[in-house]
Structure 1
Amino acid sequence: MGRVVVEVMPKPEILDPQGKAVVGALPRLGFTQFTGVRQGKRFELEVDGEVTPEILEQARKAAEEVLSNPIIEDIVAVTDASADAGTAPVAQRAGLA
């Protein structure tokens, strides 16, 4: 089974209230090294079989038409997650899961 990851972020000129709330909370929790936060979306699309260039193109089309709002969001990545073990969730990579 293959997996495609689509990452979507707000366009730079769009206000990100969730990111603003998080960046305001971090110093209160002792994380003073972070000066900005932008919150985006991550979609994991599973496919039968291998991820081919055609599958990636269809995932990009789905991202453009369904998974993102092109007026306020940018598609920042469409990747074959099954080919890269480095795309495991951060908690898993950090040994937290």
Structure 2
Amino acid sequence: MRIYLTLSEGEKEALEGLLKRSPKPYLRERASAILQIASGSFGNEVANKGLLRRRRKNTVYDWVVRYKAGGIKGLEQKAGRGRKPGFSPSKPPTTTNPG
């Protein structure tokens, strides 16, 4: 499977800026993958050798689809992802009273 992506100069500059200056490592990785795909690399190449760690090619393709749909905002992690905390210091502990 091959995905083609054409970027305008503005999009390319925005992704390069994200790659160089984003405080979030996952955004830098995704921007790098998008730029490599746009320059003609295959998703499999990018997934196996083009990033700091190997990714599944479907993951890279998902990033491209998300970028096409939502731009840079589409590359950000959605709220509510990940493990939920088991303890929140803002809530007082509940005690059970045996009676």
Do the two structures share a fold, i.e. TM-score over 0.5? no
Greater strand percent: which structure?
1
Greater helix percent: which structure?
2
Q: How does the TM-score come out when normalised to structure 1?
A: 0.29
The answer to which structure, 1 or 2, has the higher relative contact order (CA under 8 A, 6+ apart) is 1
Structure of greater Rg: 2
